[in-house]
Amino acid sequence: MNMPLNTSANISDPVAQARYNMIEQQIRPWNVLDFDVLELLAVVRREQFVPPAYSSMAFMDIEVPLLGNDAEEAVRLGHSMLQPRVEARILQDLQIKPTDRVLEIGTGSGYMAALLAHRAERVVSLEINAELADMARENLRDAGVQNADVRQADGARDAIPDGPFDVIVLSGSVAEVPAALLSQLRDGGRLGAIVGSEPVMRFTLTRRTGDRFETTSPWDTIAPRLVGFPEPSGFTF
């Protein structure tokens, strides 16, 4: 049985206490039990990837806005960080290895890229919004992360650089798993995405074995849309 990373009695720094509470009260109860993942969440400082205007939200169980003064609008447009427990569960289920080359679609502030980079050989992260791409590069540089490359690009339409990949992560929701991204998986690779439409979305894990793709949907959640990916067409008569 995994023990807590620390005890509340040993934490005097309020930021460290908030981080501890996030891990023990939000993330661990959501079936994130991989000790390496929990330890990584304690090491990578989430607060360093949150804009100063929203610093009080860094450890809350919400989607943290990243741009502008209207928090609800930022989340609606997908300019936000996923909930901490969702990020942690994705990281656990993808089982990143030290030799993995990872592609992330939707960099945001760079936090997930930092988590991935600590476990993988290299991360390429695509962000469609220029302001967010610049923010992520600065955050990753300040955090000392050197094996994550942020590029401003449209992950739904632009050519994908440096493929194929061992792991592909979509840091936002899509209506369906993009076939073009599946083609970028190596044999044995995994793609993780939150798939569906409100009120029903599921984390979908697709594994490639030769020319076959096996899909499981182990848990439900809701997440903002990634910009640019197609929506299902409505009924026509």
The confidence score (pLDDT) of residue 5 equals 58
Q: How sure is the predictor about 192, in pLDDT bands with cuts at 50, 70 and 90?
A: very high
The confidence score (pLDDT) of residue 3 equals 46
The confidence score (pLDDT) of residue 236 equals 44
Q: Are 203 and 89 in contact (CB under 8 A)?
A: yes
Residue 237 pLDDT > 50: no
Q: What is the pLDDT of residues 116-164, one digit of tens each?
A: 999 999 999 999 999 999 999 999 999 999 999 999 999 999 999 899 9
The confidence score (pLDDT) of residue 11 equals 65
Residue 208 pLDDT > 50: yes
Cβ burial, residue 54 (10 Å; 0-12/13-18/19+): middle
Residue 190 pLDDT > 70: yes
Mean pLDDT across 76-104: 94
Q: How sure is the predictor about 233, in pLDDT bands with cuts at 50, 70 and 90?
A: low
Q: How sure is the predictor about 20, in pLDDT bands with cuts at 50, 70 and 90?
A: very high
The confidence score (pLDDT) of residue 7 equals 46
The confidence score (pLDDT) of residue 129 equals 95
